[in-house]
Structure 1
C-alpha cells in the first residue's frame, strides 16, 4: 500500500481528479471578487475612486502573481511532486486572501492580489498535470476539463456572495467576500493529504511499488494484476526509463527533438484562450453592460449573474462529450462562433452608441447605447452567446490539450510554461482593457473578434487531434512531423493503445490458463 493517502478515497479516479479542481476554482473566485465590486461605492471610496488605468492595474496584479507561480511549477512539480505543490498553492492563497480582506489602500490590495495570484499560478499549472497523470486515456479529457468547470463555479459562487454582501453597509460589503474565499483553499490543502501522488511522478523517482499500487487503486479496484493496470504500468515504466536515459530534465529539453513544436502549440493555445476576449467578459462585464445601455446597479448585477450561470451550465456538455467530440472540432467551432458574436456586439455598439461626457469632467467620456432598448437587449444576448460558445469549447479544451501534449521528461516544465503564457496575456489584457474601453470603446470587440478568426486558422493547420490517445501514444504522434497537415495525422502501424495492450495481456493470461 502506498503511503500518505486513503486507498478508499483513491479508488475513484473521478473523486481524485475532481477534488484537485478546487485549485482551479480559486481563479474563478478571484475573477468575480473583482467584477462584483467595480460598482460598489464602499470599494470605490476606500480605494480612492480608481480610474481606468488604476483599476486595470489592480485587476492585473493577480495574473502578474500567477505568472510567477506558473513558472515556479517548473521546479516544484518535479522536485516535491504534484500533490505537495497543490497543497502549497492552497496555503499561499490563504495568506493572499487575508491581506486582501484587511486592505486599507491600493498598495496593500495589490500585494494581496499578487500573493493570491502566485497560488493560482501554481494550481492552474499543476492541477491539469496531476489530472492527466492519474486518469485513464478514455476519461482524461473529461477529468482535465473539470478544471475549467471549477473556474466557472468559483466565478458564480463568489459573484453571488458579492451580490448578497453588496446590501451591507460600509467596507463589509467587499471585505466579507474577500475573507470567505480562503475557505476553499483550506479545504483543498487539507483534503489533498488523503489523495495519492501521481503514479508517473512516483515511477520517475524510483517508487515503483507505490506507483503500481496507485494505478491499481485508481484503475483496477486495487487489483495489482489487473491487465489494464499491468499494461499501463509497464508502458509508463518503459517511457520513464527511456526518457531518463536521454538526458537530464532541464529547460534545454524543451528545445530538443519534437518538443519545440509542442511547446509552441501549448503556449499558443493558452494565449489564444485569453485573446478570445473571454476574461474581458468576466472581469469587466459591468462595464460591458453599462456601455450597452443597461441602467441601474441592481439590473446590471442580475444581468451579470445570468452570464455566470450560463458559463457554468454550458461547460457541462463539454465535460461529458469532450472525449467524444474531439479537441479540434470543439476549438474550430468555438472560435468561429466567438468571433462572430464579438463582431455583432461591436457592430451594434458602433452603430447605435455615442460618446457621453459628464458635466463636471468633459474629458472623461463613456461610449453608451441610449434610447434603443431592443439593441441593448440584443447586445446582452450576443454577449451571453459568446460566453456560452467559450464555455462549451475553448474553455475546457484550453486546459486539456496542453496537459496531454508532452512527454514526462518535459511535462512539468512545458505545461507550466504554457500556463505562464496564459497568465502573461491575462495580465496584459486585464490592465489594457479598461483604458481600451475608455478610448476606443466598441472597436475593442472587433480586435478580439479578429483574434478569434486568426486562432481558427492556426488551429486548423497546426493542431492535431489527441482524443483517446495515451500520453505515450501522443509522444509517438508528434514524431511523425506533418507540421502543417494537422487534420491528416494517422497513428503509425504497430503502435498499440493501452486498451489493446491490456486485451493482449488478458488473451495471454487466458492462453496460459488453458495450457
Structure 2
C-alpha cells in the first residue's frame, strides 16, 4: 500500500521534470538515486539484518525512496525517450520491439528473483545481497545515459534526425541547436534520395531568398 502510493504520487513530478530538466539530466538523476538506494538497502540488509527493527524501518524507507527515484525518472522518461529517438520509417517496429523487450525483461526479473533471494536447494540464498546486483545495474545505467542517450528536449522528430546526423557523441547533444525546422523542410519538399544536407541547404536558400525579397 505504501509503496503503491509512493509510486503513484512520484509519477507526477516526473511529468514536469522531463520537460523542465530534459531527458539526460532526469535519467542521470534517477540512476544515481536508484543506485544509491539499492546499495544502502543491500548494505543495511546484509550488515544489520532484516530481524532488527531499526534495520527494517531503514529498508522500508530506502525502498520507498528508490521507488520515488524510479517513478519520477526512468518510469515515465524511458517511454518518452523511446518515442523520440527512432526515425519515422522504423518508429512503429522499433517501439514494438522496445515494449516487448521491456515486458520480457520484467518477466525474467520477476521469475528469477525468488530463486536468487530464497534459501534452500536450487536457490542462491542471496537475500538482501541481491540488491547489490540491482544496484550494480543502476550504476551501469549512469554511464549508459551519459554515453548513449541524446538530449531531445524541445525537438521535433525531424530535428532529432538532424541532431543524429550532426552530433557524433551523446554527451555533446545538450548544446545542439537545430538549423532547419520541420516546416522549412516541408516547404522545400522531401525526396527519397535527398540527404539531410541537401534539404538543409535548400531550406537555407529559400530562407535567404525570402529575406532578400522582404528587404527589397
TM-score range, shorter chain: 0.7 to 0.9
Partner of 1:348: 44
Aligned ranges for residues 23-422 of structure 1 at < 5 Å?
305-353=1-49, 369-370=50-51, 372-422=52-102
Residues 469 and 497 in structure 1, CA contact (< 8 A), matched pair in contact too: no
Residues 344 and 382 in structure 1, CA contact (< 8 A), matched pair in contact too: yes
Partner of 2:142: 456
Whole-Å separation in 2 of the counterparts to 1:378 and 1:458: 29
Residues 30 and 70 in structure 2, CA contact (< 8 A), matched pair in contact too: yes
Taking structure 1 as reference, are residues 498 and 451 closer, same or farther at Cα in structure 2, changes over 3 Å only? farther
Taking structure 1 as reference, are residues 325 and 497 closer, same or farther at Cα in structure 2, changes over 3 Å only? farther
Whole-Å separation in 1 of the counterparts to 2:158 and 2:66: 35
Residues 163 and 178 in structure 2, CA contact (< 8 A), matched pair in contact too: no
Q: TM-score, normalised by structure 2?
A: 0.78
Partner SS, residue 127 of structure 2: coil
Q: Deviations over 1:439-471 (max 9, x none)?
A: 211111000000001111111112110010001
Whole-Å separation in 2 of the counterparts to 1:418 and 1:477: 22
Moved over 6 A (4+): none
Q: Deviations over 1:319-374 (max 9, x none)?
A: 12311210000000110110010111111111122xxxxxxxxxxxxxxx22x211
Partner SS, residue 442 of structure 1: helix
Partner of 1:442: 128
Residues 17 and 26 in structure 2, CA contact (< 8 A), matched pair in contact too: no
Whole-Å separation in 2 of the counterparts to 1:329 and 1:420: 26
Partner of 2:171: 487
RMSD over aligned Cα, in angstroms? 2.5
Q: How many Å apart are 1:427 and its aligned residue? A: 1.8
Q: How many Å apart are 1:493 and its aligned residue? A: 6.3
Whole-Å separation in 2 of the counterparts to 1:451 and 1:393: 16
Q: How many Å apart are 1:375 and its aligned residue? A: 1.4
Whole-Å separation in 1 of the counterparts to 2:95 and 2:82: 6
Residues 167 and 176 in structure 2, CA contact (< 8 A), matched pair in contact too: no
Q: TM-score, normalised by structure 1?
A: 0.34
Aligned residues: 184
Whole-Å separation in 2 of the counterparts to 1:403 and 1:437: 35
Partner of 1:476: 162
Whole-Å separation in 2 of the counterparts to 1:306 and 1:493: 44
Whole-Å separation in 2 of the counterparts to 1:401 and 1:414: 12
Structure 1: state its 5+ residue gaps. 1-304, 354-368, 502-507
Taking structure 1 as reference, are residues 388 and 346 closer, same or farther at Cα in structure 2, changes over 3 Å only? same
Residues 23 and 152 in structure 2, CA contact (< 8 A), matched pair in contact too: yes
Partner of 2:181: 496
Partner SS, residue 69 of structure 2: helix
Q: How many Å apart are 1:492 and its aligned residue? A: 6.1
Whole-Å separation in 1 of the counterparts to 2:136 and 2:150: 23
Structure 2: state its 5+ residue gaps. 119-124, 187-209
Whole-Å separation in 2 of the counterparts to 1:497 and 1:317: 30
Residues 323 and 467 in structure 1, CA contact (< 8 A), matched pair in contact too: yes
Q: How many Å apart are 1:494 and its aligned residue? A: 3.2
